[in-house]
Amino acid sequence: MGRWEPEARARLERAAMELYGERGYEQTTVAEIANRAGLTERTFFRHFADKREVLFGGAGALKDVLVNGVLGAPASASPIEAIAAGLEGAGAMFQPRHELAMHRQAIIDANTELQERELIKLATLATALSEALQQRGVRDSIANLVAETGMAIFKIAFARWIDPANRSDLSQIIHESLTELKSIF
Amino acid sequence: MGRWEPEARARLERAAMELYGERGYEQTTVAEIANRAGLTERTFFRHFADKREVLFGGAGALKDVLVNGVLGAPASASPIEAIAAGLEGAGAMFQPRHELAMHRQAIIDANTELQERELIKLATLATALSEALQQRGVRDSIANLVAETGMAIFKIAFARWIDPANRSDLSQIIHESLTELKSIF
């Protein structure tokens, strides 16, 4: 791909988000997205398999950040500390994309199919986190429990972060949620 | 409904589970289920909206048990103790249905659409648990966090319970998982 391509991807993403927000996800076509971005449908399909992938194309990068955070935690880190490292890496990745994340969430909240896809994405990420913990030598029953709890924390922290009243960084909210969970036991 | 109806429902459920296991969920028709149960399609539709509901029709009862467990916990119970009461109620409800639960899970694990439906069911239950906690006066951010964590524990405990090697009761496994989670923080 030529060096103009990243810009085309960002333009398509922005155009899609605008249109999903304005007229709804269901009602928006790929032709309209390409048109709004001043690009061709062919260019759209070089970047995204379909209009849903504009919203979920980042799942692979998120998974990598989570897994690398877990695997990169010090050998002395407990399972929950390793998960915290992964979650905080994800926090840092999302932080500059706050506006986009708020916008994306509003689109997803308005559409049942997209909500289902989001749940599947979170379940897939929990599995990836569990596998990363198992690579660190954590036994599978503990790994599954900690990974599921970690994704529950991520989900809650993410919802707090994109609340319009919020002023804190995602990493900070994740840290607070972990502390909060610890305190309630 | 006449007093023979509960038996008809159980027969339809058993017939459906057998057929889903034998030939796959996708390949089974309502006509075949009714036929296997020695009943009519019309009777099937008096009990279930469609063939998927045979697998998910218990979600309402599960939700009631969880919510009533949370609401019925002593006023002095902490949020996590209230959730534990709900989960242990669900454990008692499932315990006599161990064989059925194993069978059902194998059917769900073999079908992507059913896995998605199961995730949606769990998300709905987490929301119901959070609302029950809020009714107890728990503020929403804590309620969401504890409810999501509770469902994560339930999911893990359930998977352990239906493992063929397991010999423990679901309530006991839920209790152990809660203790385990507490210990890793």
- How high is the ipTM of this complex? 0.80
CB of A14 within 8 Å of any CB in chain B? no
- Considering CB atoms only, which of B119, B148, B180 is closest to A155? B148
What are the Cα distances from residue A148, in Å, to A137, A167, B32? Answer: 17, 27, 38
Same domain, A46 and A114: no
Scanning every residue of chain A, which has its alpha carbon at the shortest distance from the alpha carbon of B120?
A116
Give dist(CA B167, CA A174) in Å, integer: 37
Partners of residue B120 in chain A, C-beta under 8 Å = 115-116, 119
Kindly state whether residues A161 and A178 are assigned to the same domain: yes
The answer on A154 and A75 residing in a single domain is: yes
- In this predicted structure, what is the pLDDT of residue B27? 96
SS3 assignment, position A11: helix
Secondary structure (3-state) at B6: helix
Residue where a domain stops, chosen among A18, A33, A54: A54
| B4 pLDDT above the threshold of 80 | no
- For B184, which of A120, A146, A148 is closest by C-beta distance? A146
H or E segment and range at residue B122: helix B112-135
Alpha carbon A97 to chain centroid, angstroms: 11
- Tens digit of each residue's pLDDT (9 = 90 or more) over B18-58: 999 999 999 999 999 999 999 999 999 999 999 999 999 88
- Verify that A22 and A70 share a domain, yes or no: no
| A185·B155 Cβ contact <8 A | no
Q: Distance (Å, rounded) from C-alpha B175 to C-alpha B185?
A: 16
Residue numbers in B near A80 (CB within 8 A): 184-185
Can you give the pLDDT at residue A4? 59
Which residues of chain B does A142 touch, with a Cβ-Cβ cutoff of 8 Å? 180, 184
Q: Are residues B40 and B64 in the same domain?
A: no
Partners of residue A182 in chain B, C-beta under 8 Å: 185
Question: Which of B115, B120, B184 is closest, CB to CB, to A80?
Answer: B184
Proportion of chain A above pLDDT 70, given as a percent: 97
**Across the A/B interface, how many CB contacts are shorter than 8 Å?**
75
Candidates B154, B156, B163, B178: best to mutate against A (most CBs of A within 10 A) is B156
- Asked if A85 and A125 sit in the same domain, the reply is yes
Q: Does A163 reach chain B within 8 Å, measured CB to CB?
A: no
If one compares B132 and B181, the residue with the highest pLDDT of the two is B132
Is there a single domain that holds both residue B160 and residue B75?
yes
Q: What is the mean pLDDT of residues B146-157?
A: 93
pLDDT band at B183 (very low <50, low <70, confident <90, very high): confident
Q: What span, in angstroms and rounded, lies between the C-alpha atoms of A164 and A36?
A: 27
Domains: count for chain B: 2
The shortest CB-CB distance from B177 to any of A78, A145, A184 is to A145
A66 plus A48 within the same structural domain: no
The string of pLDDT tens digits covering residues A7-41 is 999 999 999 999 999 999 999 999 999 999 999 99
- Same domain for B38 and B80, yes or no, is no
If asked whether residues B12 and B94 sit together in one domain, one would say: no
The residue out of A19, A35, A54 marking a domain boundary is A54
How many angstroms separate the CA of residue A177 from the nearest CA in chain B?
8
A147 plus A64 within the same structural domain: yes
- Closest approach of B184 to chain A, Cα-based (Å): 7
B152 touches chain A (CB under 8 A): yes
Residues of chain B with C-beta less than 8 angstroms from the C-beta of A159:
144
Q: What is the mean pLDDT of chain B?
A: 93
pTM, two decimals, is: 0.86
A185 pLDDT higher than 80: no
Stretch A126-130: mean pLDDT? 96
What is the pLDDT, as a whole number, of residue B41?
A: 96
Residues 6 or more apart in contact with residue B185 via CB below 8 angstroms: A80, A181, A182, A185
A 36-95: CB under 8 A from B = 78-80
Cβ–Cβ below 8 Å for A182 and B185: yes
pLDDT in tens, B64-98: 999 999 999 999 999 999 999 999 999 999 999 99
Q: Closest-CA residue in chain A for B122?
A: A119
Are residues A138 and A122 located together in one domain of the fold? yes
- Backbone phi, then psi, for A154, in 5-degree steps? -60, -45
When mean pLDDT is compared across A2-6, A70-74, A118-122, A135-139, the lowest value belongs to: A2-6
Length of chain A: 185
Domain span at residue B21 reads 5-50
The minimum CA-CA distance between A160 and chain B, rounded to whole Å, is 8
Interchain pair B180, A120: CB under 8 A: no
CATH of the domain at A20: 1.10.10.60
| B149 to A80: CB separation less than 8 angstroms, yes or no | no
Q: Identify residue A165 by its one-letter amino acid code.
A: A
**CATH classification of the domain holding A112:** 1.10.357.10
